[in-house]
Amino acid sequence: MSRIRRGDMILFVLILILGSFTGLQWWKHSHVDYQQGQLQALITVNGKEYETVPLTGDERIIDIKTKFGHNTLKVYDYGIQMIYSDAPKRIALDMGFISEPYQQIICVPTRVVVEVLVFPSMNSVRQNWMLW
């Protein structure tokens, strides 16, 4: 029977530390407190901000036409979805409706990235400021 050596123990501890770090990062991103009106979609094209859209219950169509291609986004029910892309493979359309913080829609051929982010309301910013 083989014994646990010093190198085995170091490797085990490193894997345990990395696993804990990854678990904490996942927990941090999946447990974000937000109110319904605080979510916004950040739309970037080719790494540059194109538009920031508040995610509300109102329906809105966003048409993105660039030299890289054409995409159409639909904002509704406090979320956003890509409904059209002229990319050769329509993978971004399969990403579906996103409405939670840190969810993304990525269309590589047209270089469009849509990410849902939490933007604090002015009331919560004022309350946090008064705590300082």
Residue 60 pairs in a beta bridge with 75
DSSP 5: P
Q: What's residue 126's pLDDT?
A: 45
Q: What's residue 108's pLDDT?
A: 94
Q: What's residue 4's pLDDT?
A: 80
Give 44: exposed, middle or buried? Use CB within 10 Å, 0-12, 13-18, 19+.
Answer: middle
| Residue 123: both structure tokens together | 């009331």
Average pLDDT, consecutive stretches of 10 residues, N- to C-terminus, the chain (132 residues): 83 91 74 76 95 92 94 94 92 91 92 89 48 48
Q: What's residue 30's pLDDT?
A: 65
Return the sign of the alpha-carbon dihedral for residues 118, 119, 125, 131: positive
Contacts of 45 (CB under 8 A, 6+ apart): 64, 66, 68, 110, 111, 112, 113
Contact (Cβ atoms closer than 8 angstroms) between residue 84 and residue 69: no
Q: What's residue 20's pLDDT?
A: 87
